[in-house]
């Protein structure tokens, strides 16, 4: 069967353009690939268009909008997920602008689809006492419990994203003084995060227990499952939710209802801010492109807002008491009205 124009261009886009021209990371390529798998499944199930007959002229602006609505209404995806899928589609159609001039009109219509404004949610983070409670939950008498404790500690200490933790290997750790960890973030950008000696005690024991400090293990996954395969996003989510539920049973007041890997990242950022660390340093630790992204923590920190208000309140009250309140004659005259 002769390949269609869609199959040719999507293959070139995924296998050539993204890795070679754009320098996209494996995770970005996987996310874009998944978007088009979902789109192809949608076209087959709801529009009766099979992939072997799928051509570019059959994908219109109206169909793309219907697909995005399907993601939210049927698959129950969030607004941010919808926008991420649309970003992948936009990227493909920007690529098509120079490859398929015959379809330029419809391409530009699809590129005109707007991103939805996602509702601004409050940051979900734990207090220091909440973090301590969470870290008390793993059973350190078992190998899995010791692994989970090392995982949770490292996620909090570094403020790393879940995929960044998944991709860690032992060679990315430097545990002699001064201890540091190399993290590969979005866009394959590397950052070096310093760690304190007290932070790496559990990690050292974990490395020793699994022989991960030896030269032959340098490229092994740092955290792995029972099959010695690196943990998945779903696996890490499961671990955190399990200990989050256990911590809630112990003290519900200290735990947020929805705990996730990003909750630990938010918690680390808030605690650094509350300790007086400059936003620029927090930006570098978290791997944000701009300090404007990091400013969300300053806007969300109610404790610092309260402290600022209290200081302002004290300054206002330093003024002398108005004269009329101490003038008994004036007070009596006012009362006579």
Catalytic (active-site) positions: 161, 186, 262, 265, 288, 297
Token code pair at residue 4: 């269609």
Q: Beta 180-184 vs 190-194: how paired, if at all?
A: antiparallel
Strand arrangement of the beta sheet that strand 173-174 belongs to: 173-174, 180-184, 190-194
Listing DSSP states for 266-299 in one string gives HHHHHHHHHTT--HHHHHHHHT-SSHHHHHHHHH
Count other Cβ atoms within 10 Å, centred on residue 252. 10
Residue reference for tokens 């394959």 = 188
Q: For Cα atoms 149, 153, 159, give the angle at the middle one, nearest 5 degrees.
A: 145
CA distance 254 to 134: 9
**Peptide bond preceding 178 in cis form (omega within 30 of 0):** yes
Calpha distance 303→274 (Å, rounded): 8
Evaluate the CA torsion angle 63, 67, 72, 73 in order and state its sign: positive
Is residue 283 a contact partner of residue 294, using CB atoms and an 8 Å limit? yes
């Amino acid at each position: 069967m002769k390949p269609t124009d869609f199959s040719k261009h999507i293959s070139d886009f995924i296998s050539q353009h993204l890795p070679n021209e754009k320098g996209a990371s494996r995770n970005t390529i996987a996310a874009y690939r998944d978007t088009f798998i979902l789109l192809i499944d949608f076209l087959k199930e709801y529009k009766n268009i099979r992939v072997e007959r799928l051509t570019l002229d059959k994908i219109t602006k109206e169909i793309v909008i219907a697909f995005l609505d399907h993601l939210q209404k049927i698959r129950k995806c969030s607004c941010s997920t919808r926008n991420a899928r649309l970003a992948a589609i936009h990227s493909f159609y920007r690529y098509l602008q120079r490859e398929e001039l015959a379809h330029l009109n419809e391409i530009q219509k699809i590129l005109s689809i707007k991103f939805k404004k996602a509702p601004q949610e409050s940051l979900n983070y734990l207090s220091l006492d909440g973090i301590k409670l969470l870290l008390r939950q793993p059973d350190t008498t078992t190998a899995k419990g010791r692994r989970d404790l090392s995982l949770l500690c490292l996620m909090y200490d570094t403020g790393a994203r879940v995929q960044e933790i998944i991709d860690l290997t032992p060679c990315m750790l430097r545990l002699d003084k001064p201890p540091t960890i190399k993290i590969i973030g979005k866009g394959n950008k590397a950052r070096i995060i310093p760690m304190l000696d007290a932070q790496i005690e559990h990690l050292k024991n974990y490395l020793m227990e699994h022989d991960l400090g030896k030269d032959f293990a340098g490229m092994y996954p740092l955290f792995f499952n029972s099959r010695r395969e690196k943990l998945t996003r779903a696996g890490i989510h499961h671990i955190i939710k399990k200990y989050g539920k256990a911590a809630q049973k112990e003290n519900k007041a200290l735990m947020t209802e929805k705990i996730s890997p990003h909750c630990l990242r938010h918690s680390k950022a808030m605690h650094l801010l509350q300790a007086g660390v400059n936003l620029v340093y927090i930006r570098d630790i978290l791997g944000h492109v701009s300090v404007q992204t990091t400013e969300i923590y300053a806007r969300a920190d109610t404790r610092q807002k309260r402290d600022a208000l209290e200081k302002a309140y004290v300054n206002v009250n330093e003024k002398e008491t108005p004269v009329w309140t101490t003038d008994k004659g004036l007070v009596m005259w006012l009362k006579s009205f």
